[in-house]
Amino acid sequence: MSDLTAVSLVTIVAETALKPRLTKDLMNLGVSGYTVTAANGEGSRNRRAGDVDGGNVMIQCLASRDLSLAIMNHLEAEYFENYAVVAWVSSAEVIRKERYS
């Protein structure tokens, strides 16, 4: 029997146009995988081309605490200023912790 261990769950909601860039960045930063779902909603920015291209996407990945911080810092440096992006880190519990660097 394995036990549960804590990892970070990073959730990013962004305009659809950013999906290829964001997922590439995540892989380059070292996540082992990610999940993308279509998302819709309203926010403070309301400045996007998403209508034509299809709303927002929600990208989630599991990561170590250090990596999740690196992801958030990368988003701050590259995306928060000009793009419609929100992101947060929450805690999750998994078995097979070695999968989430």
Partner 1 sequence: MDSSAQVIIANLTSPPVLAFALGLLAVLVKGDLRLPDPIYQGLSIYLLLGIGIKGGVALRQSELSDVAVPAIATIVLGLLIPVLAYLFSGKLTRLSEVDRGALAAHYGSTSLVTFTAALVFLEQSSISYEGFATTLLALLEIPGIIVGLMLGTRHLKREISWSESLQEIFSSRSILLLVGGLVLGFATGAVGYAKIEPFFGGLFIGMLTLFLLEMGTLAGRRMRDVKTAGAGLIVFAIVFPIFSGILGVLFGYVSGLSMGGAAVLGVLAASASYIAAPAAVRLALPEANPGIYLAASLGITFPFNLTIGIPLIVLVAQSLEGMVG
Where do contacts with partner 1 occur on this chain (CB under 8 A)?
A: 15, 17-18, 20-21, 38, 46-49, 51-55, 82-83
Of 25, 32, 30, 28, the C-alpha closest to 87 is 25
Nearer to partner 1, 67 or 84 (CB): 84
Supply the minimum distance, in Å, between the C-beta of residue 49 and partner 1: 4
Q: What are phi and psi of 51, to 5 degrees?
A: -55, -45
Tokens in use for 71? Answer: 């992801």
What's the closest the beta carbon of residue 56 comes to partner 1, in angstroms?
12
Question: Closer to partner 1 at the Cβ: 2 or 28?
Answer: 28
Nearer to partner 1, 45 or 65 (CB): 45
